[in-house]
Chain A
């Protein structure tokens, strides 16, 4: 199985900060990676698909990048409504797997 390691587990940042979340795969996943946002008590929401494609309706402050085994989700200017847990997800090869998540908090 492909293991997805997200770092850091918890990130504290201030409104307006540029925030970078990392996701590392245990083997090459050929950019077959999505990012999901989950706010407390809600279902996950797709932010980014296939590494760097912004889902419809998602603010442009969110962006994704990466290749091979290393991927990044960037929030260019953190907003209060961005407080959530963020999960990466690989669908390159089965069983598909999620990372353990990065919990983003306001400082």
Chain B
């Protein structure tokens, strides 16, 4: 069974950094692109970016490119999202998803709240 489990969320002060993790199981992690999507409270979905199998290609939405870094550890079957200079606009549920073009499996999401 494919499973994606995000962790690392919580309450963080404005301007600080936070690193999210996504633990993958039930499939060959190093065979797939992986991605991150977020959803602000009461809002729609926003594509953050994607990383290919060997980390040689990483794509971001332009507005987050200087703040967020996507990485992966294929030995640990884990995807990461490093977030820096966080602001209130980054308050959202963050989802990781398997991305063979489309997002066929999603994690349950992890909440990040940016507030003083």
Mark A residues whose CB is within 8 Å of B. Answer: 1, 34, 36, 38, 43-46, 49-50, 55, 87, 89, 91, 94-101
State how many angstroms separate the Cβ of A24 from the closest Cβ of chain B: 16
Contact with A along B36-70 (1 / 0, CB 8 A): 01000000111100100000000111100000000
Interface size on B, residues (CB 8 A): 19
Q: What are 7 pairs between A and B in contact, CB < 8 Å?
A: A36-B45, A46-B103, A50-B102, A95-B60, A97-B47, A99-B44, A101-B44
CA distance in complex: A45, B102 (Å):
11
> Known contacts being A94-B59, A96-B47, A98-B47, is A44 close to B102, with CB within 8 Å?
no
Among B37, B44, B61, B62, the one with the most A-chain Cβ atoms within 10 Å of its Cβ is B44
- Chain A residues within 8 Å of B89, by CB: none
B1 within 8 A of partner (CB):
no
Q: What total count of A-B pairs have CB within 8 Å?
A: 54
Q: Specify the chain A residue showing the minimal Cβ separation from B60.
A: A95
- Inter-subunit contact A98/B95 (CB<8 Å): no
- Chain B residues within 8 Å of A46, by CB: 102-104
Question: Which of B50, B60, B102, B106 contacts A34 (CB under 8 A)?
Answer: B102
State how many angstroms separate the Cβ of A54 from the closest Cβ of chain B: 12
- Inter-subunit contact B106/A44 (CB<8 Å): yes
Question: Which of B44, B59, B61, B108 contacts A43 (CB under 8 A)?
Answer: B108
- Chain A residues within 8 Å of B103, by CB: 34, 36, 44, 46, 89
Apart from A43-B107, A95-B62, what are 13 other A-B pairs with CB-CB below 8 Å?
A1-B62, A36-B103, A44-B103, A46-B104, A49-B101, A55-B104, A89-B102, A91-B101, A91-B102, A96-B50, A98-B47, A99-B44, A101-B45
- Chain B residues within 8 Å of A45, by CB: 106
CA distance in complex: A47, B91 (Å):
27
